[in-house]
Structure 1
Amino acid sequence: MKVEYFIGIVPPEEYLERIVHFQSNWIKHSNVEPHITLKAQGGLTPDKKWIGKVQKVCDTFKPFQVSLDQPNFFGDNILYLSVNSSHLHKLHQEIVHEISPSEDLIKQYFELDAFVPHITLGKEQYGDYISAGLSKKALMEMEKLAVKELTPYPDFEVNFIRVYELNIEKQRYEKYLDISLSK
């Protein structure tokens, strides 16, 4: 059985619900709640020894502000909301350095210099079992509506991060653990 984890940041509850409602026009069952990926799967091993390292980083990292912004695309097949925050990049780098995944994993998951914080709204269909895919035409339609329906884009304080675990039976990532930032 393959155990997978990743670390994310959850937007405020009311905006989270707005995104879920917006996505429901295209996607029947999402495989994870809307989030900003902070640290992808690389190096987050089933033994969970990395959790203590993440906790150590969070214990010294102060809460910070994040601003959501305009929709944008990775290529022409992944639509996302932009995220602005210099502190987010710093926290990402500290966690990646503390966990120290291989260079190959850093490249595979677009970490460190390739890190682009975002909230995925939709993506084109792929063959893997864990994606709810759309057509390019649907993504273009989704982008136009996102500008209307998801504004104003909120600013919010990040005071905890969320570890997600893949639930194989449900084919869905679920909350495993929340870790608070330094007070």
Structure 2
Amino acid sequence: MPELIPADTPSLVGTDGTAKMSKSRGNTIALSDDAATVRRKVRGMYTDPNRVRADVPGTVEGNPVFAYHEVFNPDRAEVADLAERYRAGQVGDVEVKERLVVALETFLAPIRERRAAIEADRGLVDRLIVEGTERTRQEVRQTLAEVRRAMGLTGTYQQVRRRAERSRRRTEAPA
């Protein structure tokens, strides 16, 4: 399983380069996208608009392709090499994007495999919900008991609970 993205990672700019990634804008790469979709989206990503040919030096800062490399490409040397060559006009957008596709696929492959395994196990989600709910209820009971003990309310709570139960029975009793 890939390592999680650090919490201090800023929101990624969308593939269109104009705003943060947003499903409603259609400028996302989803965790559920298949390999062909990821490749298509990366190929269509916004890059340096002033760079009209591969031999023209480009700007890495603010370039969404490089922002994604920074987050998803674990090969720091490759990212540095691509950035250096891009600034010098020695690498084209196609190569930079293809390397990004490889990095994204490396990141997404284990997620896809896990998702497929979960989808194949009918009832797994229901079992997880039931088991999680039961564990949570037990934790809540234990925590409340500890709180009552710490506040010296154990005996008081039991008295209040018994009175409430008697009151409830009287109200429910047929007249």
Common topology (TM > 0.5): no
TM-score between both structures, scaled by the size of structure 2: 0.24
The answer to which structure has the higher strand fraction is 1
TM-score between both structures, scaled by the size of structure 1: 0.23
The answer to which structure has the higher helix fraction is 2
Quick check: which has more Rg, 1 or 2? 2
**Greater RCO structure (CA 8 Å; 6+ sep):** 1
